[in-house]
Amino acid sequence: MTNQASDLIRSDELLRLEIGADHADLREGVRRLCSRFPGEYWRSVEEKAAYPGEFVKALTEAGYLAALIPEEYGGAGLSLRAAGVILEEINASGCTASQCHAQMYIMGTLLRHGSKEQKQRLLPRIASGELRLQAFGVTEPTTGSDTKKLKTRAVRDGDNYVVHGQKVWTSRALHSDLMLLLVRTTPVDQVVKKTDGLSVLLVDLQQSKGKGMEIRPLKAMINHNTTEIFYDGLKVPAENLIGQEGQGFRYILDGMNAERILVGSEAIGDGRWMIERATAYANERIVFDRPIGQNQAIQFPIARAYASLQAADMMVRKAAALFDAHRDCGADANMAKLLAADAAWEAAEATMQTYGGFAYATEYDIERKWREIRVGRTAPISVNLILAYIGQHVLGMPRSF
């Protein structure tokens, strides 16, 4: 072997080691914190349909939810990759990051497009945990993913915007202090592009309850504390407008790439948790005098799921690297989310089959994680919408209907 070839092999080995151990200290810290919240804790929270307040408080006090807030505002000022590692390790430890992950990517809209006064007034209090910004009002019952056609409207009246309309699947609105609300401030028939005329308002949820805003819990198969919200004359101070009126759709798009990458990171963590459980059980479970993992029908699906997860992990890392380098990452972020969600679901299905009937027993936490993982193929954007995006915007095929 030539020296040049040997050097290339050593470089490749170093690259793999660096990839495998990135943010090792951060990972270890998250794992230690999560060890205080075992499966029993999450089962209890779910049985009560409660909010995991103790867990969120612990994450906040450790500074993890302020990872993306710049140091000048009391945050950690970390990269998106580092934030993804935090969420990945939370889910890989058997906990659930979705109960508080929105604070990471919602905050970006305020940070990038908020006024200097808004940032100075709010970001330090969000970083310290004094305020929670974990609710995001976008989806509506009749428009779904067609955000351009949303009907919730806000009309300027002196020093206030007056809001009328309805939002659905607004998670954690009952456990948050602030919410970003996407509204139409210019009627759609008065704009050149349908994406124009949308604005983002920062709503003080605690001050707004019962004053033109009603929040109703929306029961679902997963405990995300989601709600539907009705607006009937809610007054929002005009000073709570984020950025310029009518530019809200662009501001929301800015945060969607970060959202997809972070949700993809969570899916990688979920997949890791599932594969670890499946592998351990396949080695321990003895049927017909041998471990069930000796059977190819058990072993091969787990192995394939592991391979899929490793590939998806590389895509998530690439998307995060592009985002942190301020490069165009729309296609990569969407593909990262797609592949990670699919890989996690493949791992979940393999684990369900490995455990057999015991997978349905709540004490193993398999069915809880299985339900959580399935959400990733629907939200925050469905598999088919991502495929349509790739087909049209990456491959240049005609718009599908």
The answer to whether the CB of 383 falls within 8 A of the CB of 342 is yes
- pLDDT value at residue 365: 98
CA–CA gap between residue 241 and residue 160 (Å, rounded): 10
Q: Is the pLDDT of residue 254 over 80?
A: no
- pLDDT value at residue 335: 98
> Three-state DSSP class for 149?
helix
Low-confidence winner among 102-106, 333-337, 344-348, 349-353 (lowest mean pLDDT): 102-106
Mean pLDDT within 332-361: 98
Give 22's pLDDT tier (boundaries 50, 70, 90).
confident
Q: Read off the tokens for 372.
A: 């959580």
Q: Is the pLDDT of residue 253 over 50?
A: yes
Q: Is the pLDDT of residue 4 over 80?
A: no
227-237 and 213-217: which strand pairing? antiparallel
The answer to whether the CB of 323 falls within 8 A of the CB of 365 is no
- pLDDT value at residue 19: 62
- The residues facing 161 across adjacent strands are 156, 236
Q: Is the pLDDT of residue 6 over 50?
A: no
Q: Is the pLDDT of residue 12 over 50?
A: no
CA–CA gap between residue 86 and residue 76 (Å, rounded): 12
Percent of the chain with pLDDT over 90: 85
- Average predicted confidence (pLDDT) for the chain: 92
Tell me which residue of 220, 213, 225 sits closest to 171, measured CA to CA.
Answer: 225
- pLDDT value at residue 5: 42
Listed by start position, the domains of the chain span: 3-128, 133-248, 250-394
CATH fit for domain 250-394, picks 3.40.50.300, 3.20.20.140, 1.20.140.10, 1.10.3720.10: 1.20.140.10
- pLDDT value at residue 400: 75
Give 20's pLDDT tier (boundaries 50, 70, 90).
low
Q: Is the pLDDT of residue 144 over 90?
A: no
How far is CA 220 from its chain centroid?
18
Mean pLDDT within 168-195: 94
CA–CA gap between residue 52 and residue 44 (Å, rounded): 10
Other Cβ atoms less than 10 A from the Cβ of 309: the count is: 23
Tell me which residue of 248, 228, 118 sits closest to 185, measured CA to CA.
Answer: 248
133-248: CATH topology is: Butyryl-CoA Dehydrogenase, subunit A; domain 2 (2.40.110)
- Measured torsion, CA atoms of residues 268, 274, 276, 278, in degrees rounded to the nearest 10: -150
160-168 and 153-157: which strand pairing? antiparallel
* CATH, domain range 3-128: 1.10.540.10
Convert the pLDDT of each residue in 288-339 to its tens digit.
Answer: 999 999 999 999 999 999 999 999 999 999 999 999 999 999 999 999 999 9
Q: Is the pLDDT of residue 16 over 80?
A: no
Give 194's pLDDT tier (boundaries 50, 70, 90).
confident
- pLDDT value at residue 18: 55
Degrees, nearest 5: CA angle 49-51-53:
150
- Measured torsion, CA atoms of residues 5, 11, 16, 21, in degrees rounded to the nearest 10: 160
Give the torsion sign (CA, 255, 375, 86, 33): positive
- pLDDT value at residue 96: 96
Convert the pLDDT of each residue in 100-123 to its tens digit.
Answer: 888 888 888 999 999 999 999 999
227-237 and 160-168: which strand pairing? antiparallel
Is there a cis peptide before residue 187, judged by omega within 30 degrees of 0? no
pTM: 0.92
Mean pLDDT within 369-393: 95
CA–CA gap between residue 391 and residue 401 (Å, rounded): 12
Q: Read off the tokens for 181.
A: 């609300």
Q: Is the pLDDT of residue 33 over 70?
A: yes
- pLDDT value at residue 1: 44
